[in-house]
Structures are given as structure tokens and as C-alpha cells.
């Protein structure tokens, strides 16, 4: 049944996966192909900046891939009246667990593409001795970020259903209100900053997304 769920996931998401995988492969090559000839004998700072551009772009691709796959899965289920899930001879919890596991397996593909593309791009560039490349760790981080994004959207969509848009709007409104509160009431800035640091800094729940992303660093 796991194999059948994986096949269904692939059939529903293969177009999106192909797009994200190709883009993830191409981005490191294109950025370094454009930047390195212009940098020539560039300083370490310029190379690190270039690696940061690759890293931030890969981060965006990874998060978007995870969110898209989760949103697409629920969208197909919703349009079909959840017939596929109801037709399986397993509990809803097990069905959702297999759905999440197979999606995580498919999201490995863009991460592998990042690793291959970054490795190929770095093979065409000569880095000074004081600069290191991180193709493998960037690919691993991309995979973890896509898993995290997928998990959050998957939980929201299958728990809230058609109320997901309203909850997302509420979360956005709360974020805006907290930002305004920090401006209006300076006494609250310390508490809000601590909460934000906890959420966005390692080992916080979203540290893998908001940390430093780079392909090249000292």
C-alpha cells in the first residue's frame, strides 16, 4: 500500500516536482556561471556573497516545493471528495502518515538536484584556499527545509480543511499586530524579540529555514 500511495503522490505532483528539481539543479550553475567570470580573481568576500545568493535562492525553492506539494495533495483530495482516502482499507491516521512519508520521499529529489548542480558548478570554479564549498550541507538543509514546510502546510490543510486560508490570514494578522506593537510599545520589544529568536534561531522549530544559507563560505 505504501508503494501505491507513493505512485499516487508521484502522479499528482510529478509536474511540480519536475519543475522544482530542474530549477534546483540549474540555480547554482547559472549563478556561478554568471558571477565567477565577472569576479575573476575575486576576494573571498565577493565569493561568499555569491554563495549566499545561491543559498537564499535554494532556500526559497525548498520551502516553496514543500508548501506546493502539501497544498496540491489536499487540493486533489478536496476536488475528488476525499474518495481515494476513504477507499483505502486503513485508518485515516495511517493513510495520512503514508501520505506524509511518501511526500517526504519525493521531496528528496530537489535536494539531490541541488547537490548535483552545486557540485557541477563548483567543479568549474577555482576557489582560494581560505574559502570552502558546502554543496552537501546545502542540499541536506534544503531537504530539511522542504520537509518542515511540507509538514506545516500538510498539518494545516488536513486539520483545518477549507478554513486553512482563514487561519493563514489570522496568523498573518497576528504577525503584523506584533510588529506594530513592538513599534508602539517599546517595552514589549524584548519579549517579542525573544519569542522571535526562539522560533527562528537554531535549535528552534524554524531555525533550519531562517539560519544562514550559503554554498560558499570561509
Q: What is the pLDDT of residues 64-119, one digit of tens each?
A: 999 999 888 877 776 666 666 556 666 777 878 888 899 999 999 999 999 999 99
pLDDT reading at 39 higher than 60: no
**8 Å CB contact between 118 and 28:** yes
| Predicted pLDDT at 41 | 47
Residue-wise over 161-197: b if at least 16 C-beta within 10 A, else e?
eeebeeeeeeeeeeeeeeeeebeeeeeeeeeeeeebe
pLDDT at res. 85 = 58
Average pLDDT, the chain: 84
175 falls in which pLDDT band (50, 70, 90)? confident
Whole-model pTM?
Answer: 0.84
pLDDT of residue 82: 60
Please give the pLDDT value at position 129.
Answer: 76
Residue 210, pLDDT score: 87
Name the least confident of 61-65, 81-85, 120-124: 81-85
Task: Name which of 42-51, 144-153, 188-197 the model is least confident about.
Answer: 42-51
State residue 207's pLDDT score.
83
- Give how far the C-alpha of residue 157 lies from the chain's centroid of Cα atoms, to the nearest Å: 17
Instruction: State the pLDDT at residue 132.
Output: 86
pLDDT at position 217, please? 83
Amino acid at each position: 500500500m505504501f508503494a501505491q500511495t507513493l505512485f499516487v503522490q508521484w502522479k499528482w505532483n510529478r509536474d511540480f516536482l519536475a519543475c522544482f528539481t530542474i530549477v534546483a539543479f540549474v540555480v547554482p550553475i547559472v549563478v556561478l556561471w554568471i558571477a565567477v567570470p565577472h569576479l575573476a580573481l575575486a576576494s573571498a568576500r565577493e565569493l561568499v556573497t555569491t554563495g549566499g545568493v545561491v543559498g537564499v535562492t535554494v532556500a526559497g525553492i525548498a520551502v516553496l516545493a514543500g508548501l506546493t506539494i502539501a497544498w496540491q495533495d489536499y487540493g486533489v483530495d478536496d476536488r475528488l471528495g476525499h474518495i481515494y482516502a476513504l477507499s483505502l482499507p486503513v485508518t485515516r491516521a495511517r493513510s495520512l502518515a503514508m501520505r506524509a512519508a511518501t511526500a517526504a520521499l519525493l521531496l528528496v529529489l530537489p535536494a539531490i538536484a541541488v547537490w548535483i548542480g552545486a557540485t557541477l558548478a563548483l567543479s568549474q570554479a577555482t576557489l582560494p584556499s581560505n574559502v570552502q564549498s558546502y554543496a552537501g550541507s546545502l542540499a541536506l538543509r534544503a531537504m530539511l527545509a522542504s520537509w518542515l514546510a511540507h509538514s506545516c502546510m500538510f498539518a494545516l490543510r488536513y486539520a483545518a480543511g477549507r478554513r486553512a486560508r482563514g487561519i493563514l490570514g489570522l496568523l498573518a494578522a497576528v504577525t503584523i499586530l506584533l510588529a506594530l506593537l513592538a513599534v508602539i510599545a517599546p517595552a514589549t520589544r524584548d519579549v517579542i524579540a525573544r519569542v522571535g529568536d526562539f522560533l527562528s534561531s537554531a535549535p528552534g522549530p524554524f531555525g533550519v529555514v531562517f539560519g544562514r544559507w550559503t554554498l560558499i563560505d570561509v
